[in-house]
Every structure is written in structure tokens, then in C-alpha cells.
Structure 1
């Protein structure tokens, strides 16, 4: 069994992993399951406008999608860096074009929002979404949504530290047991 190494993940990827794990669903995994040219249950599934609107309200109230706001800027920065490394003499032009392209791609964010709405709508009824919105609009719900990113970051750090400790202990114990059985590692 291998365990993920969080240090190798970009901040964006780590954010997606953490958010996906915290909410128990992975939009990227769902998107990857679609096959080209073949209708999926997603394509045939329909939700009322109210259901999708409630899903968006729940997403907004819980601040669940704020971690995705940096995707385009991060991708733009990575793209800019890639092209500048290959031709540093064109740095000003690359920066200008990358900025223009990023601004042009900004409206595509709505596609992600629509996918997230469907993910929530698929998992929660309209009544459940109303309850979620009501909770996140309450004082304790607002506090939870405000602290979620911090709590998740601290939780990931604690899990990493715990994993490192368990790993060290396991290696030590396996080595000890192998020595007791006459095997030298």
C-alpha cells in the first residue's frame, strides 16, 4: 500500500484533494468518467432551475467553491512561466498574451459552477439544500464556512504528521520483528 505524498502536490492540487476528501465527492473523477460521444446518466439527468439554484446557494453559503477561484490564475502563471523559460527574450509579450488569454478564459468558470451545482443537486434534495443554506446562514454555519479552509489545512498537516510518525514506527517495528526472526534488513 502506498500513501500519498502531499509535498509533491501543487497547492492547487492539494486544495482539490482536500476539498474533495472533505466533501466526499470528486468533481474531477466524475468528469473523467464521461466518455466522448456516449450519453451518460449525467447528460440525461435533469434538475429544476430551483434545484440548481438551491445547490448554488448552498455552495455559496458554505464557501465550498472558493478553493477553486485560484485555478485560472495558477494555470495562467504556470503557462507564463513555461513560455518564459523557453524564450526569456519574449517575456513582456508572453506576459501580455497570457493575461489576455486568461481574461478570455474567465467566462469558462461558469462550466465548473454548473458541474458543481449538479454534483450537489444529485446528492441533496431541494429540501435538504434549503436546510444546508439555512445552516450556513446561521451564526455557527457562517463561522464554520469562514474557518473551513483553516481547519482543513490544519487537518491535512496533522494527518501528514501522524502519517510520518506511523511510518517511522512501522519501519522500526517491522525491522525489529524481522531481526527477531533471524532476518537482517
Structure 2
């Protein structure tokens, strides 16, 4: 697997997670805050809750709602895709130097599928705990209601295609900004007597 493809896959899945979380936050943002200038970020200021709720204070219903939101918002798809990517990389790593391992390796990995499913489920639980620590249960249920609505489901369905285009657009944008920045820096330094 090429390094560019690894970067693309990782970027896509993290954009998926960030976009889903971002939409949840935007959907729950009070109307009077829309369009307002963001306050300076600091360790003491968090986007939703002042501080995460201790795990001991999270009720089963709160965690269940958070888990439902992780699933409904499309965040869990990034976790689902992580294991197959790791398996593919591991297979390529071993078979490049030991192609004779391919048949047995395939069998071993297939036998381990139930364990992989547990690993993915564990990450969903971790994400639910984090989300529940940041959002009160009523707000989470409001977000779940949106993602369970026809519009919310369409958004989740459109995510993979949207993220593909966003990753490509970000790569082009990054190159353009880098070139523009370099040109501007050189011009400004030249005014000060420096030639690069």
C-alpha cells in the first residue's frame, strides 16, 4: 500500500469523525450563538460542556443514548473501517517477505474476526463515554432524533462521497496555499534585503 493511499484513507476517516462530531455540535448550538465570533480557545473552555462528566456520574440511559448517536451519526463507520485497513497492511507486510504464509494467514485472520468485532465495539463504547461526558443526555437525544430523521439519514448516506471529494479538495487547497505562502514570504523577505 502506498504512503499516499494510507494518508488518504486515514484522512478520510478522521474527517468523517470530525464532521459527524462537528455537525452534532452545530445542531445543538443555541440560535443566539449562530454567526457569533468564536471565543478564544483555552484548556478551561470546551465547546459544549465546561468539563467532562466523571464516568461514575454517567447513567446507563445517558451512555445508551450516546452510543446510539455514535452509530446514527456515522462516526462508527470510521471504526468499522479501521480493522480491515490494519488487516490489509499486516497481510501485505508478512506476504512481501513470506508469500508462503498467505494461505495460513488468511485462515488465521478469518478465525480472529469475532475478536476484531469486539475491538470495534469497544471503540464505539469509548466514543460513547467521551460524548456522554461532553453532552447532557437531553441534547444527545435531540441529536439522535435529527440523525434518525429522513434528512439526517440522507446526510449520513452522503458522507462517504462527500469526504472523498473533500479530501481531494483539501489536497489541492493545501498545495495552492503552500505555493501562495511561499511566494508571499519570499516577496516580503526580499523587501527586507533577503533573497531566497
- Tell me: CA distance 1:164–1:87, structure 2 relative to 1, closer, same or farther (3 Å): same
| 1:157 matches 2:168 | yes
Please tell me the root mean square deviation across aligned C-alpha atoms, in Å: 2.6
CA shift for structure 1 position 114: 0.9
Of residues 142, 150, 153, the one that matches 1:139 is 150
The offset of 1:158, in angstroms, is: 2.5
Does the aligned pair in 2 maintain the 1:12–1:71 contact within 8 Å? Answer: no
1:15 maps to 2:9? no
Change (3 A) 1:43 1:16: farther
Distance (whole Å) between structure 2 residues aligned to residue 123 and residue 133 of structure 1: 15
1:60 to 65, 71, 75: 71
Deviation at 1:90, TM superposition (A): 2.6
Q: Cα–Cα, structure 1 residues 149 and 90, in superposed 2: closer, same or farther, change >3 Å? A: closer
Cα distance in 1 for residues equivalent to 2:86 and 2:134? 30
The equivalences for 1:1-185 within 5 A come to: 7=4, 9-22=6-19, 23=21, 44-185=55-196
Q: Give the gaps of 5 or more residues in structure 1.
A: 1-5, 25-40
User: Which stretch has the larger CA shift, 8-17 or 57-66?
Assistant: 8-17
After superposition, give the CA deviation of every residue in 1:78-135 in whole Å (9 maximum; x if it has no partner): 1122111221223212222232234433222221111011111112111111111111
**Are the equivalent residues in 1 in contact too, given 2:70–2:76 (CA < 8 A)?**
yes
What CA deviation, in whole Å up to 9, does each residue of 1:140-172 have, x standing for no partner? 222222222333333333233222112111212
- C-alpha change, 1:61 and 1:106, in structure 2 (3 Å) is closer
TM-score under structure 2 length normalisation: 0.71
TM-score by length of 1: 0.74
Q: Which has the higher contact order (CA 8 A, sep 6+)?
A: 2
For these two proteins, the number of residue pairs brought into alignment is 164
